[in-house]
Amino acid sequence: MDIQSIKNRFGIIGNAPALNYALQVAATVANTDLTVLITGESGTGKEAFSQVIHALSARKHNPFIAVNCGAIPEGTIDSELFGHEKGSFTGAVDARKGYFETVNGGTIFLDEIGEMPLGTQARLLRVLETGEFIRVGSSKVQKTDVRVIAATNKDLLEFTQKGKFREDLYYRLSTVPIRVPALRDRKEDIPLLFRRFAVDFAEKYKASPLQLEEEAKEMLINYSWPGNVRELKNIAEQMSVLANDKMVGAAEIRRFLPDRDFSRLPVLVSPQPGAGSANGHEFNNEREILYKLFFDMKKDVTELKKMFVEILQNPGMAAAQNQALINELKSKEILGTPGLIPHSHPQPATVPGPMQPVMIHHDDEIHSHEEVEESLNIMDKEKELIIKALKKHKGKRKDAATDLGISERTLYRKLKEYDIKE
Q: How confident is the model at residue 295 (pLDDT cuts 50, 70, 90)?
A: low
Weakest-pLDDT range from 141-150, 370-379, 381-390: 370-379
Is residue 348 a part of any domain in this protein?
Answer: yes
Q: What are phi and psi of 13, to 5 degrees?
A: -115, 135
- Nearest to 319, CA basis, from 346, 355, 345, 347: 355
CA atoms in the 13 A half-sphere facing the CB of 181: 19
Is residue 263 a part of any domain in this protein?
Answer: no
46 and 177 fall within a common domain? yes
Residue pair 82/67 in contact (Cβ under 8 Å)? The answer is: no
Q: Which domain holds residue 228?
A: 184-256
pLDDT at 233 > cutoff 90? yes
Is residue 278 a part of any domain in this protein?
Answer: no
Residue pair 212/81 in contact (Cβ under 8 Å)? The answer is: no
Query: Based on the structure, what is the number of domains in the chain?
Result: 3
CA atoms in the 13 A half-sphere facing the CB of 100: 30
pLDDT at 375 > cutoff 70? no
Tell how strand 147-152 and strand 36-39 pair up. Answer: parallel
175 and 60 fall within a common domain? yes
Residue pair 178/34 in contact (Cβ under 8 Å)? The answer is: no
160 and 301 fall within a common domain? no
What would the pLDDT profile of 275-284 be if each residue is shown by its tens digit? 444 344 444 4
**pLDDT: which is higher, 374 or 184:** 184
pLDDT at 286 > cutoff 90? no
Give dist(CA 271, CA 133) in Å, integer. Answer: 67
DSSP three-state, residue 345: coil
Is residue 275 a part of any domain in this protein?
Answer: no
pLDDT at 384 > cutoff 80? yes
Q: Mean pLDDT over residues 3-8, rounded?
A: 93
Give dist(CA 272, CA 279) in Å, integer. Answer: 13
The domain that holds 110 is classified in CATH as: 3.40.50.300
pTM of the model: 0.61
What would the pLDDT profile of 304-321 be if each residue is shown by its tens digit? 777 666 666 666 555 555
Show the DSSP H helices in 96-209 as ranges: 99-102, 118-130, 156-161, 167-173, 190-204
The domain that holds 229 is classified in CATH as: 1.10.8.60
Q: How confident is the model at residue 135 (pLDDT cuts 50, 70, 90)?
A: very high
- Nearest to 233, CA basis, from 256, 251, 216, 213: 256
What would the pLDDT profile of 36-66 be if each residue is shown by its tens digit? 999 999 999 999 999 999 999 999 999 999 9
Last residue of a domain, one of 126, 151, 181: 181
52 and 90 fall within a common domain? yes
Q: What are phi and psi of 92, to 5 degrees?
A: -85, 75
Using alpha carbons, list the distances in angstroms from residue 209 to 195, 223, 231. Answer: 8, 22, 19
236 and 115 fall within a common domain? no
Is residue 319 a part of any domain in this protein?
Answer: yes
216 and 298 fall within a common domain? no
Last residue of a domain, one of 181, 212, 232: 181
Last residue of a domain, one of 158, 181, 204: 181
DSSP state letters, 191-249: HHHHHHHHHHHHHHTTSPPPEE-HHHHHHHHHS--TTHHHHHHHHHHHHHHH-S-SEE-
The winner for highest mean pLDDT among 107-111, 253-257, 270-274, 385-389 is 107-111
pLDDT at 336 > cutoff 90? no
374 and 409 fall within a common domain? yes
Is residue 270 a part of any domain in this protein?
Answer: no
Is residue 193 a part of any domain in this protein?
Answer: yes
197 and 154 fall within a common domain? no
226 and 290 fall within a common domain? no
What would the pLDDT profile of 409-420 be if each residue is shown by its tens digit? 787 778 877 778
136 and 168 fall within a common domain? yes
pLDDT at 247 > cutoff 70? yes
Amino acid at 406: I
Q: Is 43 exposed, middle or buried (0-12, 13-18, 19+ CB in 10 A)?
A: buried
Give the chain's count of helices (H) and strands (E).
Answer: 18, 9
pLDDT at 328 > cutoff 50? yes
224 and 114 fall within a common domain? no
If one counts every other C-beta atom within 10 angstroms of the C-beta of residue 153, the result is: 18
21 and 154 fall within a common domain? yes
Is residue 7 a part of any domain in this protein?
Answer: yes
